[in-house]
Amino acid sequence: MATVGDRMTLKLSDEEVAWLAGIMCVQGTFTRTGGAATRIGWIVGSKNSPKTVSRIAELTDQRIRNTKRGDYVIVAGQALDELMEILSEWLDTDRYDEYLRALELAANVVADKKKAHAEEIAKREARVREDRLMTREVRRQLAEAAYRNQDPAVQVIDDVDVNENEVNRAIARRQIEERNARR
């Protein structure tokens, strides 16, 4: 079921539309699909009625997924949008409202992810801006305070000379030497 431009490519007879609407009213779940949760899908599965699942897959041009718990089909993204446009007048209001709530939930998840990402970028930019505006003396004091937490005898001479990896390696070497001296 591919859509070409704005045209619908799903060709269903009135009987097939009525049958699909009846199935959709009583079976399946509207849920977010995919890792990014940017779209929703109608998931219909049946261990006892594999013919129903295969008929839905045939009518919607989707593939059947086989699991130990039975066969199921997922109609998602553009395919679901097209199907809902066709079935909307046949569905009861509760089921159509469930679809709209799922769409809203997916949109909220995407908005929350975008907001969190924007906040993280703003924090990163603030840290970079703060680092650029810091004087050499303030940087030295911060570095000394950070290293004093590791070893009270550390005195930072200049922040340019301090390499955190070198400091950590020196601490590790000293700890190994102390351990060897105890033996």
91 plus 155 within the same structural domain: no
Range(s) of the domain holding residue 150: 134-182
Domain membership flag for residue 100: yes
Given this model, what pLDDT does residue 59 score?
Answer: 92
Domain membership flag for residue 103: yes
Given this model, what pLDDT does residue 126 score?
Answer: 84
Residues 6+ apart with CB under 8 A from 14: none
Mean pLDDT per 10-residue interval, the chain, length 183 residues: 52 90 88 74 86 91 87 89 89 90 87 91 84 73 70 57 66 83 81
Given this model, what pLDDT does residue 63 score?
Answer: 92
Domain membership flag for residue 51: yes
109 plus 150 within the same structural domain: no
Given this model, what pLDDT does residue 164 score?
Answer: 65
Domain count within the chain: 2
Please say whether the dihedral angle defined by the alpha carbons of residues 124, 130, 132 and 138, taken in this order, is positive or negative: negative
Domain membership flag for residue 121: no
State the CATH number of the domain containing residue 62.
3.10.28.10
Given this model, what pLDDT does residue 4 score?
Answer: 44
Given this model, what pLDDT does residue 20 score?
Answer: 92
Domain membership flag for residue 75: yes
